Amino acid sequence: MLAAHMDEVGLMIKKIEENGFIRLSPIGGIEPITLVGQKAKIMDANRKILCDGVITFGELHDASEIKEVPKMDYLYVDTGLTSKELQKKRVEIGSYVIPHHQFQYLGNKETISGKALDDRIGCYMLIELAKKLKDIRKLDVYYVFTVQEEIGLYGAKTSVYEINPNWGIAIDVTVASDSDIKKGTAIGSGPYLTVKDSEIIANPKLDQHIENIAKKNKIPLVLEVADFGTTDATNIMLSKGGIPSTIMGVPVRNIHSTISVANVKDIQNAIKLLELVLRNPPSPTSL
């Protein structure tokens, strides 16, 4: 089982004030400061665009001195409409607010920028992997696109219960902590394999199998030990009597923002390594 989460870090309307300003509730982890000044689209549950707006807060609105970093409670969406006008457009509590940013290359064709790379990258990797493995016959491969990973890993829990796999890999992204070049995971250094995060220690035999294939095929691979965050692998591992699992992905800069940055070669190498792992899978009895 290979799982990537397809829910985006976003926002939901929690209050509409009389003057039309829209107050926000975060969906998943997102840094409020990254939202300031962003264009946003307000959508209903069917992703129909209801209207556009700009995310702002009082001091920026009034051109006052900004004395502290804004918190989520300070932010609101200005659509230029009153509450009654918003009501006519069917904007209501529970509608979604999606910051708007287009995909683009930065400087060259190796560096990309875009919104929700956590975890659009994982979803892209699964799609490309499925194309490459159309001829595979020696095992059943389940490509799972889960939801609500950011708020509780819920999609992984229900999916793994239905599939009951022998082992699983969560395909995700990690923090590129390369603002200081001397430490951390840098974009362009290759895909990463998580040994431990804040919730689980990945299956060591599965990790070793993946690491051996990477070395044999000269694919760069970074081992990561993280003290924060977790992924769908946690619920895969804790399902039923316990299912061996691990996490593979790529580093991303500005991970919880609408303008993230990643490296194309990292993604390509991760897809290549995953293909080799699935063509040379570990025996379930060896894990």
Active-site amino acid positions = 149
C-alpha distance across the termini of the chain, in Å: 15
Q: What's the length of the chain?
A: 287
Please tell me what DSSP assigns to residue 253. B
Question: Which of these, 217, 229, 120, lies nearest to 174 by C-alpha position?
Answer: 229
Q: Are 159 and 190 in contact (CB under 8 A)?
A: no
Measured CA to CA, the distance from residue 237 to residue 118 in angstroms comes to: 21
Helix locations, 199-253, DSSP H: 204-216, 233-237
Question: Which of these, 75, 86, 70, lies nearest to 19 by C-alpha position?
Answer: 86
Q: CA 130 → CA 13, 27, 217, 271, 274, distances in Å?
A: 36, 29, 20, 10, 10
Please tell me what DSSP assigns to residue 74. G
Distance of CA 224 to the CA centre of its chain: 17
Measured CA to CA, the distance from residue 264 to residue 276 in angstroms comes to: 19
